[in-house]
Structure 1
């Protein structure tokens, strides 16, 4: 499965461009809604991603939770996520039913309190 659809990639690149413009003006308050949720079907790792780096679109920004109790905001390589395989050969998947109901920083605040990302279905 492709981790990002064309539409998600376009939206995340637009968010990345907007973030760069904000940083140039000193405005670091923009808080995007996550565009995609990725997860490991064999474990607890989850990524809520909102932006792609316009200069290196392999690098995504979002909330990363490896399932060990300390989710954090940061960057992740999409090609590295695509290369991950379970012992049975499963790969990282995109949650086809994900719907963001709050901003990335709101998810991050909640995840820090809970020790994991909490995402409800539609």
Structure 2
């Protein structure tokens, strides 16, 4: 699977050029075989370095940088790799995701809470 479409890539690059910083996550990547969820908000000009949060099911969510090439190269078992959630959308900025994921225990739990809050408006 192509992890970034041209449209997602363009939005991630545009976010990196915007100094305001508290961007909406643009893409969600996940391990279809188990632990591992990443939300990306920005892409550096090198075309590889993503900014966002990672949840590797280690009792904390890490905010920082991760490599698109490394995500694309991960073999998670059964000859599968990391995938992009093609249905992912959010109106919550990354700061909300970080806060809720920290309290809820991870990105997957935060996603359920944020989806419910977004539905309730």
Instruction: Output the TM-score relative to the length of structure 1.
Output: 0.86
- Which residue of 1 is the match for residue 7 of structure 2? 7
Q: Aligned equivalents of 1:47 and 1:38: distance in 2?
A: 5
Misfit runs of 4+, over 2 Å: none
**Number of residue pairs matched by the alignment:** 112
SS in 2 for 1:30: coil
CA deviation after TM superposition for structure 1 residue 58, in Å: 0.3
SS at match of 1:57: coil
Deviation at 1:44, TM superposition (A): 2.1
Q: Hey, what does 2:21 align to over in structure 1?
A: 30
Mapping 1:42-121, distance limit 5 Å? 42-54=33-45, 56-117=46-107, 118-120=110-112
CA contact (8 A) 2:48 2:69 kept: yes
Question: 2:76 and 2:29 mapped to 1: Cα distance?
Answer: 15
| TM-superposition CA deviations, 1:5-45 (whole Å, max 9, x none) | 10000000011111xxx3xxxxxx53100000000000121
**Superposition CA RMSD, Å:** 1.4
Match of 1:26 in 2: none
Q: Which residue of 1 aligns with 2:32?
A: 41
Using the TM superposition, give the Cα deviation of residue 95 of structure 1 relative to its aligned residue in structure 2, in angstroms.
0.2
